[in-house]
Chains A and B, each alone.
Chain A
Amino acid sequence: MSSDTAADATYCTHTDYTEGDAATDLPATGEGSDGLAADVWEALHDVDDPEMPVSIVDLGLIYGVDVDESGDVRVDMTLTYTGCPARDMLTETVEERVAAVDGVESVDLRMVWAPDWSIEMVTEDGREQLREFGLSI
């Protein structure tokens, strides 16, 4: 049963791991983006971290958004912590919200772990919200 399932697991659609335009300036906030990219950033901005009342964009978890003319969107995202128990919940939410944006055809969400997330990635707005929440930052 199970061992056969693992051994026979050959079906896998082609995945392209070539590096695209990784974000160079972090935190990335989508500032200055327009059109569909701006709409995607807005949708991402509406997703809050599951533990703190701050948007995942302001927390600095989104490293980049890449939109092409056919509406295929790639999002590079990290987490504050490798053992984050909300990883699936968060990635599913991001995929759903981005997919729901008018004009988006497909979403390719990639987990990235370089550079390592740190408190430096939190935006000014994010810091403000975290202070209101009671964290000293």
Chain B
Amino acid sequence: MAATADLAFEDLDDDEREAVRTLLFRLADDEYVTAERYTEWQVRAPTLESDLALANIAQDELGHARLWYDLLEDFGSEERELVWERPPEAWHHATLAELPYEEGGWADAVLRSYLYDVAEDLRLAAVEGSTYTRLRDRVETVENEEDYHLEHAQNWLERLVDADAGHDRVQAALDRLFPYALTLFAPADPEVEARIDELGLRDRTLSELRRDWLDRVVPYLESLGLDVPDPGDTDLPSAVGRDGEHTDHWNDLHEEFTRTYRDLDRQGTVRIMPDPDDT
């Protein structure tokens, strides 16, 4: 399909809609859950400037998640259903996003942000020319807000590896996070992935994106004197997230961020006027 095609929700059959949904859920959930974790740093980062930076980055990612959830609303759901009422097993973020930080693990936060933001950068570039118009129209806005995230992460990584203790902490974080970072490129369902590519929703396949990511991340981390695990010898963790399989940490996090919603007993739709179709 030509990259200039303009696909709208109404043009798609059920299989094609599933492809769009899969892609959108992945974009949205990665951003949302990453932001949930970032917020834990808001008052715990090593400098006040970093408190602010992480808070701001989290705000950006929540904003981006919202743009993608908006598009999922076209499929008939509302924001509350997509976020607070969706059971944990129906979330599709990579498990990298949901892992708790190691205690006091600023190196973990910084490295994770770097690993994720490079993937994000490549993934957004791959949908700049998406055939799904409403997605394509939002990419530039998101990209413009992403630049400084990488800058922030790299700036900190470079400072941390400068001292032995910092270097060792980044290395430990890398050993722990690397297999989880590879889940960013794990397919949800290979058939659906193929449909995403055939429809031209993105112009790089997941395995191409994985290769592009390794081409950027590995030399950079090595230039910092870090030992990067061999991706060929690295097994994916048992839970990759994309298929709804998550670590136990996710249940805890989900429980936590939906608690207030449930405490307020907001399970039901509040109807303030009769449904026009029923009157």
Residues of A within 8 A of B (CB): 1-3, 5-6, 9-12, 15, 17-19, 81-85, 87, 111-117
Contact = CB atoms under 8 A, between A and B. Distances in A.
B85 to A, nearest CB: 4
Contacts of A112: 137
Contact of A113 (B9, B81, B90, B138): B138
Contacts of B59: 83, 85
A9 to B, nearest CB: 5
B144 interface: yes
A85 B44 CA distance: 23
A6 B66 contact: no
By size class, the interface of chain B is 35 or more
A9 B141 contact: no
A111 B70 contact: yes
24 contacts: A2-B262, A3-B85, A3-B90, A5-B269, A6-B77, A6-B81, A6-B85, A6-B86, A9-B76, A9-B78, A10-B76, A17-B134, A81-B63, A82-B64, A82-B66, A82-B67, A82-B141, A83-B66, A83-B145, A112-B137, A114-B136, A114-B137, A116-B144, A117-B141
A108 B92 CA distance: 32
Interface string B106-123: 000000000000000000
B63 A2 contact: no
Nearest to A15: B74
Interface string B265-276: 001110000010
Contacts of B269: 5
A23 to B, nearest CB: 14
B3 interface: no
- Does more than half of chain A's interface fall in helix, strand or loop, or is it mixed? loop
Interchain residue pairs A-B with the least CB separation, the first 10: A83-B63, A82-B63, A114-B137, A83-B59, A2-B85, A12-B76, A3-B87, A6-B81, A113-B138, A113-B141
Contacts of A1: 267
A10 B66 CA distance: 21
Given A11-B275, A81-B145, A116-B144, A5 B63 contact: no
Nearest to B60: A83
B8 A9 contact: no
Nearest to B267: A1
Given A3-B90, A6-B77, A6-B85, 11 more contacts: A2-B267, A3-B85, A5-B268, A6-B90, A9-B81, A17-B134, A81-B145, A82-B141, A83-B63, A83-B66, A115-B140
A52 B70 CA distance: 26
A83 B62 contact: yes
